[in-house]
Amino acid sequence: MEFYINGQYVKPENENEIPKYSPVTGELLYNFPSATKTEAQNAVDSAMEAFPAWSATTSKERSMLLLRVYNLMESRRSELEDILMKENGKIISEAKGEVDGVLDQLWYYIGFERKLNGDFVEGDTSMRRIIQSRVPYGVVLALTPWNFPAAMVIRKLAPALLCGNTVIVKPSSDTPGSAEWIVRKFSEAGFPKGVVNFITGSGSTIGDYLVENRKVSLITMTGSTEVGMHIMNKASSNMAKLILELGGKAPFMVWKDADLKKAVDTLMWAKYSNAGQSCIAAERLYVHEDVYLKFLQLFKEASMKITMGSPIDGTMGPLINRKAISNTSKIITQAEENGSKVTKMGLAAGDKKFQNGFYYNPVLVEDADQNSNVFQEEIFAPVLPAMSVHNEDELLKLANDSKYGLASYLFTRDIGFAMRLSEGIRFGELYINMPGPESSQGYHTGFRMTGQAGEGSVHGIEEYLHLKNTYIDFSKD
Ligand code: NAP
């Protein structure tokens, strides 16, 4: 793997390499380079130099280049699906689903050409006006996670570039391959040199250097709350604008009048897609006491049928790395030690080839306390704690009792109850009687420790534009 800086593929200057293991087989997939500070600085300088000319282009020109990327990606999408299956361990339907999402987002942003308007505002006297124009920030640093390694790159690159910013992409060290593939499409599409730059390396070695860099004006990061907090601290040294899309702990709420079959089907998606490694994954189950046992029975029966072990035939993929396995086991052991009932479900890999993969069986945790880690910390695995609930007020209180505030789900046929809950819920997204994920035209944002600002929709595009004021007096004397 090479870096892409100033329109050139450059060989890494040192031989420090990071190993990438296959989540599917546990084998070494490849090694990739770790950028030095000099290389990181070269990427920043290149983006800085490219900015004046790029920001002077029209949004139509920028959008037309994005359209070329769209066409390139669509015609070669199976390559990206293959990388997602190998590098991330996604099962084939999830890999295809992510690429569908990538294309949908790109298409959505392309449509915003000539729509990045400002305002023409009345002045303090009749012959005065204020032109409020929306202008790009400058150099954007895009730090992306491994769980949706292609979608998260496009969700940052496309709006940032459409708005006239230049970008440095630093992907997760668990999934650099999909980001590299995407950046190559930008290079093939003919983006001018320096507009898109790509380096790899661990966040803990080059992250601070990039984040604190005075030439970086906006940092868009999707990842854990812990790293987000660290970045927020470091970015105080350059006052870069921050878009932070961090962890989640979605409550999945099922009321006594719900369509239980539909709720179970949705929970199967919300809990097990991406092996539970999704920021909007159901991480807490709250069910009305009247249907609690029945619903749990249906959920267990469905979960028992989960199969693992092959990206083609399996219904759930592996965790991303070995550390994720030990972190998940730790939280389950703790729950057991605290007296919770733990039920292991699903079928492990039959094929020897996959037995060293990072697979983790679905786990249901009952009788856990709301204040325990299993209900409060983001687990990011196919593990679900469940609790029965007595009334509306209790449900709302339990659902909002989380440091995270991204997605939430509610199943009920009672419109009045649904509306009351939607008024009180303090989460960026509430899905009523339906699964996610978020739409390109929705504003994906979180409350509390899930971060700040958001992505998607016109509001997400506006995050990449600074509002500049020009005051003008046109009176005759
Ligand atoms: P992570 O460990 O926080 O890493 C995210 C990105 O930050 C990676 O590129 C990482 O690089 C980089 N990084 C780490 N330390 C850094 C530093 N000191 N300075 C600059 N960059 C640094 O998160 P992850 O494990 O990849 O992703 C999983 C998390 O993402 C979960 O918490 C999930 O909920 C969250 N997520 C949120 C959303 C949302 O929309 N809210 C969407 C998807 C995922 P390295 O990999 O090299 O360390």
Q: Note the pLDDT tens digit of each residue in 62-83.
A: 999 999 999 999 999 999 999 9
Quick one: pLDDT at residue 313? 86
Cα-Cα end-to-end distance for the chain:
64
Which residues, 6+ apart, have CB-to-CB distance to 433 below 8 Å?
258, 259, 262, 410, 411, 412
- Detail the DSSP E strand segments found in 137-178: 139-143, 166-170
Range 141-167 burial, b when 16+ CB lie within 10 A, else e: bbbbbbbbbbbbbbbbbbbbbbbbbbb
What are residue 307's DSSP bridge partners? 347
Residue nearest (by alpha carbon) to ligand 1 atom 8? 172
User: Ligand 1: which of 21, 202, 227 to mutate, most ligand atoms within 8 Å of CB?
Assistant: 227
Sign of CA dihedral 429, 432, 437, 438: negative
Quick one: pLDDT at residue 168? 98
Residues with CB under 6 A from ligand 1: 143-148, 170-174, 202-204, 207-208, 211, 221-224, 227, 230-231, 245-248, 279, 378, 380, 406, 444, 446, 450
User: Ligand 1: which of 154, 168, 279, 378 to mutate, most ligand atoms within 8 Å of CB?
Assistant: 279
Residues of the chain with pLDDT under 50: none
| Helix 392-400, helix 415-424: angle, nearest 10 | 30
CA 7, CA 94: separation in Å to the nearest integer?
32
The atom of ligand 1 lying closest to the CA of 225 is 32
CA 358, CA 294: separation in Å to the nearest integer?
32
CA 33, CA 17: separation in Å to the nearest integer?
5
CA 248, CA 278: separation in Å to the nearest integer?
8
Quick one: pLDDT at residue 467? 97
CA 59, CA 245: separation in Å to the nearest integer?
26
Residue nearest (by alpha carbon) to ligand 1 atom 39? 245
Residue nearest (by alpha carbon) to ligand 1 atom 40? 245
Find out whether 35 and 201 touch, Cβ atoms under 8 Å: yes
User: How many angstroms is it from 49 CA to the middle of ligand 1?
Assistant: 28
| 204 DSSP 8-state letter | I
Residue nearest (by alpha carbon) to ligand 1 atom 47? 202
CA 332, CA 1: separation in Å to the nearest integer?
38
Quick one: pLDDT at residue 355? 86
Q: Note the pLDDT tens digit of each residue in 77-115.
A: 999 999 999 999 999 999 999 999 999 999 999 999 999
Residue 192 tokens read as 């001018």
> Any idea which residue has 């593939």 for tokens?
181
Angle at 374 between CA 373 and CA 380, to 5 degrees: 110
Angle at 454 between CA 451 and CA 458, to 5 degrees: 170
CA 221, CA 229: separation in Å to the nearest integer?
11
Residue nearest (by alpha carbon) to ligand 1 atom 5? 223
User: Ligand 1: which of 1, 143, 180, 444 to mutate, most ligand atoms within 8 Å of CB?
Assistant: 143
Quick one: pLDDT at residue 15? 82
Find out whether 406 and 450 touch, Cβ atoms under 8 Å: yes
What are residue 130's DSSP bridge partners? 121, 471
Taking only Cα atoms into account, the Rg of the chain, rounded to an integer number of angstroms, comes to: 23
Which residues, 6+ apart, have CB-to-CB distance to 437 below 8 Å?
101, 278, 280
Quick one: pLDDT at residue 353? 80
pTM recorded for the entire structure: 0.98
Which residues, 6+ apart, have CB-to-CB distance to 330 below 8 Å?
none
Find out whether 252 and 81 touch, Cβ atoms under 8 Å: no
Residues annotated catalytic, as ranges: 245, 279
- Detail the DSSP E strand segments found in 303-361: 341-344
Find out whether 378 and 277 touch, Cβ atoms under 8 Å: no
User: How many angstroms is it from 228 CA to the middle of ligand 1?
Assistant: 8
Amino acid sitting at position 251: P
DSSP string, 258-302: S-HHHHHHHHHHHHHGGGG-STTSEEEEEEETTTHHHHHHHHHHH
